[in-house]
């Protein structure tokens, strides 16, 4: 019970505050859009740049950690697509959008604050290692799969180039690349960034997660859990149980990850689909209701499943 109260509840209370403020009209939709734009376009990329620049790459990039997390993600993605086609009888385009919901966990806005509250700031190195390739890799997989579904395999070379261009333009990926550039510059020149620059980055980064969580609550207010109950249930189970379950099994029994590595892999995998899952579906006009409802329902139920994973982890 203490894990639920001390670790999980504060994060969801901030989200709930944003939800309540939007529901009661104290925070308008325009204000939510502005806050999320600040968080996702500026504050979160600065947080990522700072964190990647400070990351000990040799210690953080553990092959077992990466394989454990991303095997679970891709397996959930494949199962989601297969069940969408064979069980739910959805079109290939809808199946790709639903599969993306199973693939893209909310590794940053939920995974970072919950892991930090549970295990401390020093436990986040593995999380940031996963996040450093999360958006570039998973968006590329999702876009290529969607374009293959739409075009039946025609012109995939051009599609791949366009997908790469699109991924490289996203603010979070730009923040990650800036972090690597800062680290490389420091290693090559031997000179760190001036202290005022780090201080400014720390100030902006410090606002990232509270602003994003509050704004996420406002965004979730728009989503209505209606219809497509089987699809929503499938996405929820694959996201909250199967993905972290595979990460735990591989990390614990196959790769023998350290306690810190296992925590990062499983807690990052155990997060509900992020708002990017809906953005992806909306971008292609496919399975939008499933995506929106899955984000809302899975986020709510993750309070209990995260509690369970915290009890299982060392």
Instruction: Give the best-scoring range by mean pLDDT among 80-84, 147-151, 270-274, 289-293.
Output: 80-84
Non-local (6+) Cβ contacts of 47 within 8 A are 175, 204, 205, 208, 209
Give yes or no for residue 156 having a pLDDT over 60.
no
At 260, the pLDDT band (50, 70, 90 cuts) reads very high
Instruction: Give the best-scoring range by mean pLDDT among 18-22, 79-83, 117-121.
Output: 79-83
Q: Supply the pLDDT for residue 262.
A: 97
At 157, the pLDDT band (50, 70, 90 cuts) reads low
Give yes or no for residue 14 having a pLDDT over 80.
yes
Q: Is domain 2-312 given the CATH code 3.40.920.10 in the classification?
A: no
Give yes or no for residue 153 having a pLDDT over 60.
no
Decide which of 8 and 241 is more confident.
241
Decide which of 115 and 6 is more confident.
115
Joined together, the tokens standing for residue 69 give 């997390």
Give yes or no for residue 59 having a pLDDT over 70.
no
Average the pLDDT over 153-171 and give the result. Answer: 67
Q: Supply the pLDDT for residue 226.
A: 66
Over pLDDT 90: what percentage of the chain? 53
> What is the average pLDDT value for the chain, to the nearest integer?
88
Query: Distance between CA 120 and CA 85 in Å, rounded?
Result: 42
pTM for the whole thing? 0.86
Domain boundaries, the chain: 2-312
Decide which of 146 and 157 is more confident.
146
Average the pLDDT over 28-40 and give the result. Answer: 89
At 82, the pLDDT band (50, 70, 90 cuts) reads very high
Query: Distance between CA 9 and CA 310 in Å, rounded?
Result: 13
């Amino acid at each position: 019970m203490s894990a639920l109260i001390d670790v999980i509840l504060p994060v969801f209370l901030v989200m709930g505050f944003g939800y309540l403020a939007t529901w009661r009209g104290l925070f308008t939709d325009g204000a939510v859009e502005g806050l999320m734009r600040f968080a996702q376009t500026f504050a979160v990329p600065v947080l990522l740049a700072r964190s990647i620049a400070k990351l000990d790459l040799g210690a953080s990039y553990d092959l077992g950690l990466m394989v454990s997390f991303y095997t679970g993600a891709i397996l959930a993605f494949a199962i989601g697509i297969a069940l969408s086609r064979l069980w739910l009888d959805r079109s290939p385009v809808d199946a790709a959008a639903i599969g993306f919901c199973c693939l893209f966990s909310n590794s940053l806005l939920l995974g970072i604050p919950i892991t930090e509250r549970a295990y401390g700031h020093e436990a986040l190195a593995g999380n940031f290692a996963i996040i450093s390739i999360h958006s570039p890799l998973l968006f590329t997989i999702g876009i290529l799969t969607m374009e293959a579904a739409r075009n039946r395999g025609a012109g995939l070379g051009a599609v791949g180039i366009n997908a790469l261009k699109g991924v490289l333009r996203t603010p979070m990926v730009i923040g990650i690349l800036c972090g690597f550039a800062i680290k490389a510059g420091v290693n090559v020149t031997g000179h760190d960034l001036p202290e005022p620059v780090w201080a400014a980055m720390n100030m902006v980064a410090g606002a990232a997660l509270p602003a994003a969580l509050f704004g996420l609550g406002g965004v979730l207010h728009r989503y209505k859990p209606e219809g497509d109950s089987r699809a929503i249930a499938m996405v929820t189970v694959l996201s909250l149980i199967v993905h972290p379950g595979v990460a735990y099994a591989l990390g614990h029994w196959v790769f023998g990850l350290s306690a810190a590595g296992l925590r990062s892999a499983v807690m990052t995998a155990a997060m509900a689909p992020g708002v990017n899952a809906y953005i992806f579906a909306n971008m292609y006009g496919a399975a939008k209701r499933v995506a929106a409802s899955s984000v809302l329902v899975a986020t709510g139920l993750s309070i209990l499943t995260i509690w369970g994973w915290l009890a299982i982890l060392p």
